[in-house]
Homo-oligomer: A and B are copies of this chain.
Amino acid sequence: METTTITGLVATTPRHLVTAEGLPITSFRLASSNRRFDRAKMEWVDGETNWFTVISYRTLAVNTAMSVSKGDRIIVSGELLIRDWDNGTTTGTSIEVSASTIGHDLAWGNSNFTRTTHKADTE
């Protein structure tokens, strides 16, 4: 599994839905443009923006829908999924993160936490 941890800006209002089978899903676009170490130049540079679609399920999806807004700075940890798509008219590649955990990044602000569950949906 390609797990990765990303910090960045929530670029779209999180979309929340519940499937016909009752599975809660919340997704949003994340823009990450941290400084990075350019190995060609061997120096730190301002990074270009990496764009991700973050997808969460179950309890994490419900809490994310209630807590996360466009403009928030967050941390996401999860698994990278690179999907090529073709909708008939155009094709493209989307880079998704299937989130195991999401949180507000306290390097950028404060947050109040209200615990709601005694056991997360874990594997």
A95 interfacial contact with B, CB 8 Å: yes
A16-39 contacts to B (CB < 8 Å): 23, 25, 32, 34-39
A100 to chain B, nearest CB (A): 7
A119's closest neighbor in chain B, by CB?
A: B108
A90's closest neighbor in chain B, by CB?
A: B91
In contact, A123 and B57 (Cβ under 8 angstroms):
no
The dominant DSSP class at the A interface is strand
A3 interfacial contact with B, CB 8 Å: yes
In contact, A36 and B113 (Cβ under 8 angstroms):
no
A48 to chain B, nearest CB (A): 7
A79 to B81, CA, bound (A): 16
In contact, A37 and B106 (Cβ under 8 angstroms):
no
Write out the residue numbers on chain B whose beta carbons fall within 8 Å of the beta carbon of A42. Answer: 121, 123
8 intermolecular pairs with C-beta atoms under 8 Å apart: A1-B34, A63-B108, A68-B113, A73-B113, A73-B120, A75-B103, A93-B95, A107-B121
